[in-house]
Amino acid sequence: MPNVINAPNPRWIVIDNLGKPAAFGYVYTYDNNTRKPLATYKDAAGKIPHQNPLQLDGKGEAVIYWQDGAVYYIEVYDGLKERGGNLIYTQENYPKVDVSSGGGSVTVNIDTINLVRNPQFSFWDNGTSFSSDELGTFSFTANDWIFERSNTASTCSVDRREFSLGQTEVPATPQYYFEFNCNAIGAGGETFKRIKQVFDGVQTLNNTEITIQFFARYTSVPTSIEVSFYQFFGTGGAPSPTVKTLALSQSLTTTWTQYTATVTLPSIAGKVLGDNGDDSLWLSFDLPLNALSNVQIANVQIERGNVATPFEFATSDKEKAFLLQNFDNGINILDLGADNTGVGDVTPYFNRALEISKTIENKVIIFPAGTYRFFSKPNLIDENVKITGVNKDSTIILKDYNEASSTNGLLEIDNSVSGNVAIEVSGLIFHIGNGSSVGTIFSGIASPTATINNLIFSDIDILSPGSGTLDRAFHIDGSASSCSSILLSNINCLSSTSSPSFLFKSVSNSVLNFSSVTGADFTGNDASTPSKNIITNIRGFGSTINFDFCSDINVFTSGVDSVTNTSNSNRVSFYGNVLNSVQKNGNLFNFLGSKDFEFIPPNSATHEMGMCRIAGNLMVHYIQAYIIPADLNSFFDFFFRYDYKNTGYMVLVYVPASFIDNVFLEIKNTNSIRLRYKNLPGTSVDTNILVIGDTL
């Protein structure tokens, strides 16, 4: 385990060539002399190395600890350089600063006396008023300020308050101050209640003399507070207990008063860090327990040394650059305190993100890699927003609750609003938890006042790894007003649903590309509100596609079990193989099959999977088949053949997670690839393997 340094502080902020934070950029670190990769670390103990390259977060930032005595060569790119990312910055001889090149810059230390972020409570992107229910036991309030408590017995609130223009009681012309109220004790039993700010790394300011100053008062209830520093050694393994250092205990008055205290934080020498890299230092305003209270705070400053210098005024741009919670590049849900391990309920944090998105320009909610469990229905979506994950291999959304109605969705548009709500969702995999048996993933139902246009869904999988079920995956209904310009791209519903997985009712002018194991309904409310002008590409083994009150629909498909088309429909053209029945009702129903699409069933003797040979002159081609191993203790070769050379294809293999290491995909030649499956002796598989192949 190497000794590490923070050279000169651990948080890096990278600015790209356009002067903006290099969100999700990459930092490559090498030995300065050999140019061989050289590790950096997430923690002050040098126990947890970063990946190399390490990826910056959505604010273009990262916490980096460097090997003591090592000299680095650094390259920073806006994307993976192996994939054509643009160079932002290079640095030789780091931390000895000699040479740099490239168009951007790296801020390794912000020239500031005050170490507190958002010290004048200028930024409130999380909201400006928080009720007791909204606060819960943990909540971000003003940017980078957290309220937390041991239980929710008391009734509390947090509010942004505004100073009167021209006031002179508090210097440096603050616009706002922070107010906390507790107006009912309830059942009591509180063991802690605090307003705190977290500094990454418990090594921060250890064995250092520091001075804190702030202004405070009360207006309604006489209140005493303590101001303390907590050295938290993290979680995982056997970390040392948290160390509290009391700075001062103070009874407040009804006038704004400045309070100061000087303390030396203990050395962390000999302490043990947790394994999870989440150690930190806290500044905490410890609030009265099991008592009524009122606290108002302004102008918080921490500085090195034993002198309280005049409060350092900073412009809003400088303050904003120093924030951890900065939403210029979207809302990272982890920055709001959400859990990505699949244990805690993410619902309140998602609700908070929806509220924040209404107040910022870049209305993007970001789910980094991890698992996010919804134990209850989130708020309806009533304004335009984009919701995105890293990709559908890394970001899991777990729906683990029951809806009140089959038409309600995890993501649901509020149709009580006036006007249009447009949303974009991408890069997610939705798991249906055991606690779910009713509802949909997405529900958009227009009303006389609310239209549903410009919906974009891409790169999404929907799975049921347990016993949970859905009524549908998507329920989109524009019959009451308008629903058009819907784009579905690479949507795979591999979860069985009680009704066909997709409902498109009175939808127009849309492109829909999806797969389903239970099918889809295309319908209109009546002849005056049909679904019309749609191009759709559907893959679905054993599924049924139904058309009623439809017009000008072009469908390209494979693996569908049956098609029904009522006499209410006009100009439905269906291109693809259908395993069983085709009901050709309606005016000008076109079905192009036979020689254009030839389905070849699996061959049990050679273990060759079913194939779909496709004519080379069609624009969109899909192939799909189920594979069911007959002998789980033997090798099987399954051939996915495409009979036309020089054509690209993609294969997605879905298998139980516990058997993923036993599936092999081999490129055999330009016409075929081989899926080889071998199960371990003495085990069994109760889930089929689904292979979907797309030409590109």
Alpha-carbon distance 233 to 243, whole Å? Answer: 9
Alpha-carbon distance 328 to 98, whole Å? Answer: 32
358 pLDDT band, cuts 50/70/90, is confident
Fold classified for 333-599 = Pectate Lyase C-like (2.160.20)
Query: What does the pLDDT look like over 96-125, one tens digit per residue?
Result: 544 333 334 433 333 457 889 899 999 998
Query: What does the pLDDT look like over 125-168, one tens digit per residue?
Result: 888 999 998 898 888 899 899 999 999 999 999 999 999 999 99
Place of tokens 């003495």: 682
**pLDDT surpasses 80 at 395:** yes
Which residues lie across from 89 on neighbouring strands? 76
**Using alpha carbons only, what angle is made at residue 550 by residues 547 and 556, rounded to the nearest 5 degrees?**
65
| Parallel/antiparallel/unpaired status of strands 419-420 and 385-389 | unpaired
22 pLDDT band, cuts 50/70/90, is confident
Question: What integer pLDDT is reported at residue 104 of this predicted model?
Answer: 42
**pLDDT surpasses 70 at 31:** yes
Contacts of 450 (CB under 8 A, 6+ apart): 413, 414, 415, 416, 417, 418, 419, 420, 421, 481
**pLDDT surpasses 70 at 625:** no
Highest mean pLDDT: which range of 177-181, 357-361, 576-580: 177-181
Alpha-carbon distance 245 to 266, whole Å? Answer: 8
Comparing 288 with 498, the larger pLDDT belongs to: 288
With 0-12 / 13-18 / 19 or more C-beta atoms within 10 angstroms meaning exposed / middle / buried, residue 605 is: exposed
Say which DSSP state 444 is in.
Answer: E
Q: Was domain 129-322 assigned CATH 2.60.120.260?
A: yes
Q: Which of 247-251, 310-314, 590-594, 684-688 has the lowest mean pLDDT?
A: 684-688
Comparing 521 with 695, the larger pLDDT belongs to: 521
**pLDDT surpasses 60 at 602:** no
Buried b (16+ CB within 10 A) or exposed e, 418-456: eebbbbbbbbbbbbbbebbbbbbbbbbbbbeebbbbebe
Strand order in the sheet with 155-162: 129-130, 155-162, 176-184, 293-304, 209-217, 257-264
665 pLDDT band, cuts 50/70/90, is very low
Q: Are the CB atoms for 91 and 14 separated by under 8 Å?
A: no
Q: Are the CB atoms for 444 and 420 separated by under 8 Å?
A: no
Query: What does the pLDDT look like over 473-528, one tens digit per residue?
Result: 999 999 988 899 999 988 888 777 888 889 999 999 999 988 887 888 999 888 88
Residue type, 490: N
**pLDDT surpasses 60 at 656:** no
Query: CB atoms < 10 A from the CB of 167, how many?
Result: 11
Question: What integer pLDDT is reported at residue 667 of this predicted model?
Answer: 43
Comparing 696 with 359, the larger pLDDT belongs to: 359
Query: CB atoms < 10 A from the CB of 27, how many?
Result: 24
3-state secondary structure 629-676: CCCCCCCEEEEEECCCCCCCEEEEEECCHHHHHHEEEEECCCCEEEEE
Question: What integer pLDDT is reported at residue 87 of this predicted model?
Answer: 86
- What's the rounded mean pLDDT across residues 425-454? 87
Tokens of 90: 């290079």
If residue 374 lies in a helix (H) or strand (E), which one and from where to where? strand 370-374
Question: What integer pLDDT is reported at residue 572 of this predicted model?
Answer: 84
- What's the rounded mean pLDDT across residues 578-590? 66
CA-nearest of 241, 275, 239 to 47 is 275
Question: What integer pLDDT is reported at residue 676 of this predicted model?
Answer: 44
Q: Are the CB atoms for 424 and 387 separated by under 8 Å?
A: yes
3-state secondary structure 228-255: EEEEECCCCCCCCCCEEEEEEEEECCCC
Question: What integer pLDDT is reported at residue 620 of this predicted model?
Answer: 28
Alpha-carbon distance 21 to 320, whole Å? Answer: 12
Contacts of 601 (CB under 8 A, 6+ apart): 610
Q: Are the CB atoms for 485 and 509 separated by under 8 Å?
A: yes
Contacts of 18 (CB under 8 A, 6+ apart): none
**pLDDT surpasses 60 at 637:** no
Question: What integer pLDDT is reported at residue 1 of this predicted model?
Answer: 55
**pLDDT surpasses 70 at 565:** yes
**pLDDT surpasses 80 at 12:** no
Query: Coil, strand, or helix at residue 347?
Result: helix
Percentage of the chain beyond pLDDT 70 is 75
CA-nearest of 613, 620, 617, 575 to 593 is 575
Alpha-carbon distance 559 to 693, whole Å? Answer: 11
- What's the rounded mean pLDDT across residues 457-469? 85
CA-nearest of 477, 504, 496 to 540 is 496
Highest mean pLDDT: which range of 73-87, 269-283, 529-543: 269-283
Alpha-carbon distance 696 to 55, whole Å? Answer: 29
- What's the rounded mean pLDDT across residues 444-454? 88
3-state helix, strand, coil in the chain (%, to 5): 5, 45, 45
Alpha-carbon distance 655 to 371, whole Å? Answer: 19
CATH superfamily of domain region 4-107? Phage P22 tailspike-like, N-terminal domain (2.170.14.10)
Tokens of 25: 């950029």
Q: Are the CB atoms for 593 and 560 separated by under 8 Å?
A: no
Q: How far is CA 238 from CA 65, 235, 275, 281, in A?
A: 22, 8, 8, 18
Place of tokens 């009122």: 294
Question: What integer pLDDT is reported at residue 15 of this predicted model?
Answer: 74
**pLDDT surpasses 70 at 325:** no
664 pLDDT band, cuts 50/70/90, is very low
Q: Are the CB atoms for 505 and 525 separated by under 8 Å?
A: yes
Residue type, 556: F
Please state, rounded to an integer, the average pLDDT across all residues of the chain: 78
- What's the rounded mean pLDDT across residues 47-64? 82
**pLDDT surpasses 60 at 663:** no
Comparing 583 with 31, the larger pLDDT belongs to: 31
Q: Are the CB atoms for 559 and 540 separated by under 8 Å?
A: yes
Contacts of 393 (CB under 8 A, 6+ apart): 429
Query: Coil, strand, or helix at residue 215?
Result: strand
| Parallel/antiparallel/unpaired status of strands 331-332 and 54-55 | unpaired
**pLDDT surpasses 70 at 627:** no
* φ/ψ (deg, to 5) at 594: 45, -115
End-to-end alpha carbon distance in the chain:
47
**pLDDT surpasses 60 at 674:** no
**pLDDT surpasses 90 at 661:** no
Tokens of 506: 């009175």
**pLDDT surpasses 50 at 370:** yes
Place of tokens 């972020």: 117
**pLDDT surpasses 70 at 590:** no
Which residues lie across from 667 on neighbouring strands? 673
Alpha-carbon distance 373 to 672, whole Å? Answer: 40
**pLDDT surpasses 70 at 78:** yes
Comparing 503 with 661, the larger pLDDT belongs to: 503
558 pLDDT band, cuts 50/70/90, is low
Q: How far is CA 586 from CA 552, 569, 570, 576, in A?
A: 12, 5, 6, 18
If residue 133 lies in a helix (H) or strand (E), which one and from where to where? helix 132-135
Alpha-carbon distance 429 to 164, whole Å? Answer: 50
Question: What integer pLDDT is reported at residue 300 of this predicted model?
Answer: 97
**pLDDT surpasses 90 at 426:** yes
Query: Coil, strand, or helix at residue 17?
Result: coil
Query: What does the pLDDT look like over 183-237, one tens digit per residue?
Result: 999 999 999 999 999 988 888 889 999 999 999 999 999 999 999 999 999 888 8
**pLDDT surpasses 80 at 397:** yes
| Parallel/antiparallel/unpaired status of strands 341-345 and 597-600 | unpaired
Longest dimension (CA), the chain: 90
**pLDDT surpasses 80 at 290:** yes
